[in-house]
Structure 1
């Protein structure tokens, strides 16, 4: 086991022990920030009476940004309600969350990915989460995001996320110009330019496989391309009329991903590389591209002020010759645990975060986002992002947010892809494995499409 992975495992175990000792509502220590803001759950308006309450909040690493923590401090100053954030490494988070939910010891608030199959199977929200349908902010949140949080007509979480700025390939324009390269429109063009970079001593891609989840994006995000090549594929998958292993375009994309790894386009240390190092690695000039959130350009400039954000451009993942801009209307979301003793206070906090001025504060003070999924906000799209959206006029929803029983198996898919890259599985094996897990989840959910 790589040293970095070993360290993450140790950190996760410590987090599990600390969270277990703290219980669901006692405010045990973790990454904490003082929240504030006694708000009315329906309107988000502040009340005049301060309370002395701590809300515990379990979340995955990277989901709670500094801007939210600052709002939490303001919320605490106004209301006396403190938020105790308990942060768990991303590769261990869902196991920790499931353990706590199954034991009936979840925190007052817990984070989770949105998506119908995710919220029903992984979190069993009808049992474990509070119905938030009547909250005022539900009417303002992007309907596509709300749809991903709705089960049997009830809304169970709040998503405040940059759902429009998809993960794309950020590339160093200076390196491309120096080597006479242009944005690829096909996989073969992408392969040719990557080989040219490698021959010139530049690693084409920085890919943080060690995080366990990131490399799955290469397969899942171009989902609209699979549906384009085989019209109706998404709907047929949801109706159990087709399987992943039946689709030649999915297999092609996986074979191309494997070829990229085998040719050395991801460098020698991809299995141990982490997302936390992406900006520094890209700022070094030793890598030409990385698949990342579009805000990475700001992190790169921060890592090295001599490397400016406008030195980078964007293009979509070209596997299977994809030229569709894939959209992810979901994202990390906030659920209130049904067993919490402080449900009203947790609703106050969600209402506070969703106030327009606080949403704009998060947008203005979070360099990792360009917009949020609520109306009336002033976005921060840079010129290259505007060019990206103008270039790829055809848009579609990525596979994990449309096709059932995909998002809940994300980390397992990551393990399968690692096995494929290491020659322990074939692309066909990976697709069969995805199908098997989908069938298992569908049977647990008593999905009528699988009851044949």
Structure 2
């Protein structure tokens, strides 16, 4: 991956796994983080279907981010299936590479010539964040659509602004811990269920002469892969509104027992040699290769890299995948999961009801459109057709997601750039430059305040 932020990875996942998120890097893909008042308002909203659809012959336009592939879902399959479902509607789809998409979207919104439907990112993630666009009045509320209800609480909250939902989640991605089942079995280890057990797994492996974890921190965005899993348990499980309160000033990154604890826990893996000491000299793809070749027992990565991580390497072994248990003993485990970017309706469209009708059919869990979307294999199905065919690697995460025990990827709640400050300072800390955890949280807070504007 060349993107330096998970937002970029999530968007890549949107396009590779589904048209699958936001760090472009993961609820809110799973998040329970929206304020209680927002959640209640969303759940209490009156259900409604799309209004009357015109019988006139019309053309609806849609613009998506990504590169169209052979038999591409958005540019080829979707328009054909929409025509079959709505014979009088022609769907024209344009797909642009990420940077071009952002530039084109900005220009079209400014000129009032925006396509009828566009791709938006969850919460604050990316240049096309749902909150930024909804706040500016560019998006049509979709709160009452049945497709929104099917997405579940986490999915709805990913695209909420002031109690209304403005996009349909396209699927879910996750961050977790890939592990070598053969090594675990040979050393009498089972999947850990809390942080103490995880540290014991690492110690047992290291004592046996096995590198517990490999990470490619030369590509600093991968630091988020472990940090966000711990934060889901140590920050958001205790205060689901932490990021909302960051913006109001009620919380700070410097608050004791929040991000300082997350960073200390993750740093301890480096201090104890559980993550290889050469991590800053190793790229993300090199780290994946080392894991695939059996040179380490675990690596932190996303569902979007499952194909690379399960590829054939120098040795044969069975892979497993579990949420990094950043929880304390005796407390529930939470996963770090993110909703992928999804379609929204431009508020200035002449065909709002027709767009709603398309979205209802696209995400109803049973239509030919939904089935084709699910069969594309580019996102993790959480309901309807195909939900029983989830990759077994992902099942522990989906179970937590369905139980409401997951939180979005933290950077989705921060202004872009906050996470890169965290990465830069953390790399100094593990690189022996004397940067302390206190320095990191202070730097994050200063960067947040510099970047955030109401």
Common fold: TM-score over 0.5: yes
User: Aligned-pair distance for 1:420?
Assistant: 1.8
- Asked if the contact 2:260–2:438 (Cα under 8 Å) also holds between the matched residues in 1, the reply is yes
RMSD (CA atoms): 5.0
User: Aligned-pair distance for 1:66?
Assistant: 5.7
- Asked if the contact 1:133–1:155 (Cα under 8 Å) also holds between the matched residues in 2, the reply is yes
SS in 2 for 1:432: helix
Q: Distance in 2 between matches of 1:209 and 1:280?
A: 14
- Asked if the contact 1:208–1:214 (Cα under 8 Å) also holds between the matched residues in 2, the reply is yes
- Asked if the contact 1:121–1:441 (Cα under 8 Å) also holds between the matched residues in 2, the reply is no
SS in 1 for 2:254: helix
The 5 Å alignment of 1:264-283 reads 265-266=275-276, 268=278, 273-274=283-284, 281-283=290-292
> Which residue of 1 is the match for residue 441 of structure 2?
431
SS in 1 for 2:212: strand
Q: Distance in 2 between matches of 1:212 and 1:66?
A: 32
* Match of residue 63, structure 2, among 56, 65, 68: 56
The 5 Å alignment of 1:404-443 reads 407-409=413-415, 411-423=417-429, 425-439=435-449
* Match of residue 269, structure 2, among 250, 254, 260: 260
User: Aligned-pair distance for 1:172?
Assistant: 1.0
User: Aligned-pair distance for 1:44?
Assistant: 11
> Which residue of 1 is the match for residue 148 of structure 2?
138
> Which residue of 1 is the match for residue 212 of structure 2?
204
SS in 2 for 1:169: strand
Structure 1 residues without counterparts, runs of 5 or longer: 13-40, 446-452
1:154 aligns with 2:164: yes
SS in 1 for 2:342: strand
> Which residue of 1 is the match for residue 80 of structure 2?
74
Q: Distance in 2 between matches of 1:237 and 1:257?
A: 22
User: Aligned-pair distance for 1:168?
Assistant: 1.8
* Match of residue 365, structure 1, among 376, 379, 389: 376
> Which residue of 1 is the match for residue 319 of structure 2?
312
Q: Distance in 1 between matches of 2:302 and 2:52?
A: 30
SS in 1 for 2:151: coil
- Asked if the contact 2:333–2:405 (Cα under 8 Å) also holds between the matched residues in 1, the reply is yes
Q: Distance in 1 between matches of 2:398 and 2:342?
A: 25
> Which residue of 2 is the match for residue 246 of structure 1?
255
Q: Distance in 1 between matches of 2:445 and 2:101?
A: 21
What TM-score does the superposition give when structure 1 sets the normalisation length? 0.66
- Asked if the contact 1:324–1:396 (Cα under 8 Å) also holds between the matched residues in 2, the reply is yes
- Return closer, same or farther for 1:380/1:76 CA change in 2, 3 Å cut-off: closer
User: Aligned-pair distance for 1:173?
Assistant: 0.4
- Return closer, same or farther for 1:103/1:281 CA change in 2, 3 Å cut-off: farther
User: Aligned-pair distance for 1:376?
Assistant: 6.5
Could you report, residue by residue, the CA deviation over 1:87-120 in whole angstroms, capped at 9, with x for unpaired residues?
Answer: 32xxx79985896588658963443332379857
Q: Distance in 1 between matches of 2:264 and 2:371?
A: 43
User: Aligned-pair distance for 1:366?
Assistant: 0.6
The 5 Å alignment of 1:395-406 reads 396-398=405-407
Per mean C-alpha deviation after superposition, the further-off stretch among 260-269 and 92-101 is 92-101
Aligned length: 394
The 5 Å alignment of 1:175-186 reads 175-186=183-194
> Which residue of 2 is the match for residue 114 of structure 1?
122
Q: Distance in 1 between matches of 2:202 and 2:208?
A: 10
SS in 1 for 2:387: coil
Structure 2 residues without counterparts, runs of 5 or longer: 9-48
1:42 aligns with 2:50: yes
- Asked if the contact 1:122–1:408 (Cα under 8 Å) also holds between the matched residues in 2, the reply is no
- Return closer, same or farther for 1:48/1:122 CA change in 2, 3 Å cut-off: closer
Q: Distance in 1 between matches of 2:169 and 2:305?
A: 21
Q: Distance in 2 between matches of 1:138 and 1:307?
A: 42
> Which residue of 2 is the match for residue 172 of structure 1?
180
1:289 aligns with 2:295: no
Q: Distance in 2 between matches of 1:211 and 1:70?
A: 35
Could you report, residue by residue, the CA deviation over 1:162-208 in whole angstroms, capped at 9, with x for unpaired residues?
Answer: 2xx64221211012223443333454554454466467675433435
What TM-score does the superposition give when structure 2 sets the normalisation length? 0.65
